[in-house]
Amino acid sequence: MIFYCTKDALVVGVNTVFRAVSSKSTLPILQGILLKTEADRLILTATDLEISIQCQVPVQTIEEGSVVIPSRIFSEIVRKLPDTSIHIELKDQQLYITYYSSNIVLKTLEQEEFPLLPNLEAAQAFSIPVSLFQNMIKQTVFACSSEEKRQVFTGLFMQIENQTLTMVGTDTHRMAYKTTELPEAENSTFSGIIPGKTLTEIYRLLRDDDETVDIQYTESQVSFQFGAIHFLSRLIAGQFPNYKQVIPNTCETKIHMPVAAFTEAVERASLISRDSALGANIICLKLVESTLFLEQNSDVGRISEQLEVEAEGKEITISINSKYLLDVLKVIDEQMVFELSGPNQAGIIRPLNDPNYVYLVLPIRAS
C-alpha cells in the first residue's frame, strides 16, 4: 500500500470513524482502524461490533493495499501533521508516514483479526432529507435511558409505515414521540429499536450539505449512508412498550406559555431544589387562575417564580423532575402547551408550531 494524501483528508477520515473505536473492548484489534486504498480513495473503517463507521477520503493511490493501525496514536499523529503532501507506505508490516525530510514509522495490528462487516446489500431501503432526520434525532434521542440494564430503553423505536416515519424514545419516566411524512417511502415498512448511541453519533456526523440519508435495514442491522460516510449498527432485540397507549387524549388543564420564559423559571427553580429534601431537581408547579408558580425550598433557601400564562381548565399543583422539563425545552421553540390531568397523571408538552411532536413526563407522585 502506497499513497499520497493531504493532512486534512486524514483528519476528516480519522475523526469520522474514531467514535466507533471500542473504548473498553478486551479485543486489541478493535482499538485499530482499518485503512484500505481503492482507486483514488482511502476507506477508513472502525467498529466496536455494535456500530461500524466507514468513511472515504480522496488520496492519490500508487499501490493498492490495506492495513490495521492503532487508532489512538494514529489519530494524534494525523492531527499534528504539517499541511503538506503526506506520503504513506506499508513496508514489512510497518506504516511509514513521510513529510518533508521527516518520517514516522508505526507498528501495525494483525489485519486478519479485524472483523468483517455484515453485508446489507439485499436489504430494504428508504431515504430521508438530512435536516428532517437531524431534527427527529434531536427531539427524541435525549429521552432514551443510559442505563444498560434494560436494553430496549437505551434505544429509539423507529418505524416506517404508510409513508410515515415515527421515532420514539423513553426511559420510562418520560417519552419523546415524533412523526414525519415521507411521501416517497411508499413501499417501505420497517420497525426496530436503534441504539441511542448510534443516533447520537449520526447526529454528530451529519452535515447540512449532505442532502439525504439513505437507510437500509434487515432483521438485525440497519445502515445509514450520507456524504462519504457509511454507518452500520445492530438493532436492539426486544419488545418496545406500547407508546401510543400512554398518551392521553383528554386533559383537565391546558397551559399556553412561551418556551423561553418557562425555561428560565425552571432553571432558576432547579438551582434551589438541588439540595432539596424532596429529592434532586424536583420542583413544584402550581397553577392559580392565570398565574403559574414554580416553587421550591431546600437547605439553602427558597424560590417562588411567577409566570403569567394563558390557562384553560382546572387549577393544579404538580411536582416534576426539572431535568425532564429542561431536556425537552431545549429542543422546542417559541410557544408550548402543557396539558395536565391531575397531580398523579402524566403531563404532555406540545410545541404550538409542530403537531407532530409530543413529549410526555410523569410527575413525582403526591404522597
Kindly tell me which of 84 and 172 has the beta carbon lying closer to its own copies: 84
Place of cell 424514545: 169
Kindly tell me which of 28 and 238 has the beta carbon lying closer to its own copies: 28
Q: Assess contact for 175 and 168: CB atoms under 8 A.
A: yes
The pair phi, psi for residue 125, each rounded to 5°, is -150, 155
Per CB under 8 A, does 25 bind its own copies? no
Q: Assess contact for 238 and 60: CB atoms under 8 A.
A: no
Among 8, 28, 38, 82, binds its own copies (CB under 8 A): 82
Total residues in contact with its own copies, by rule CB under 8 A: 32
Place of cell 486504498: 37
Cα–Cα dist 43/58, whole Å: 9
Among 27, 49, 105, 247, binds its own copies (CB under 8 A): 105
Helices and strands in the chain: count of H runs, count of E runs: 6, 26
**Could you tell me if residue 16 is left (phi over 0), alpha (psi between -120 and 50 degrees) or otherwise beta?**
alpha
Kindly tell me which of 263 and 356 has the beta carbon lying closer to its own copies: 263
Kindly tell me which of 83 and 112 has the beta carbon lying closer to its own copies: 83
Q: Assess contact for 269 and 283: CB atoms under 8 A.
A: yes
DSSP string, 167-182: EEEE-SSEEEEEEEE-
Residues in 255-314 at the binding interface with its own copies, rule: CB under 8 A: 264-265, 267-268, 271-272, 275, 299-306
Per CB under 8 A, does 326 bind its own copies? no
Among 28, 40, 63, 73, binds its own copies (CB under 8 A): 73
Q: What is the CA radius of gyration of the chain?
A: 25
Kindly tell me which of 49 and 260 has the beta carbon lying closer to its own copies: 260
Among 23, 24, 92, 102, binds its own copies (CB under 8 A): 102
Grid cell at residue 7: 493532512
Kindly tell me which of 83 and 121 has the beta carbon lying closer to its own copies: 83
Choose the binding region for its own copies from 50-58, 70-78, 113-121, 345-353 (rule: CB under 8 A). Answer: 70-78
Among 25, 93, 103, 172, binds its own copies (CB under 8 A): 103
The pair phi, psi for residue 23, each rounded to 5°, is -95, -20
Give me the amino acid identity at 304.
Answer: S
Residues in 335-364 at the binding interface with its own copies, rule: CB under 8 A: none
Per CB under 8 A, does 131 bind its own copies? no
Kindly tell me which of 101 and 187 has the beta carbon lying closer to its own copies: 101
Least distance from its own copies to the Cβ atom of residue 63, Å: 21
Among 64, 76, 147, 312, binds its own copies (CB under 8 A): 76
Kindly tell me which of 123 and 271 has the beta carbon lying closer to its own copies: 271
Cα–Cα dist 135/150, whole Å: 26
Among 100, 116, 239, 355, binds its own copies (CB under 8 A): 100
Residues in 206-265 at the binding interface with its own copies, rule: CB under 8 A: 264-265
Cα–Cα dist 269/262, whole Å: 11
Least distance from its own copies to the Cβ atom of residue 107, Å: 5
Kindly tell me which of 252 and 264 has the beta carbon lying closer to its own copies: 264
Place of cell 500500500: 1
Per CB under 8 A, does 77 bind its own copies? yes
Per CB under 8 A, does 94 bind its own copies? yes
Under DSSP, the state recorded for 143 is G
Q: What angle do CA 6, 71, 106 make, to 5 degrees?
A: 75
Q: How far apart are the first and last CA of the chain?
A: 69
Cα–Cα dist 332/365, whole Å: 26
Residues near its own copies (CB under 8 A) are 70, 73, 76-77, 80-82, 94-95, 100-107, 264-265, 267-268, 271-272, 275, 299-306
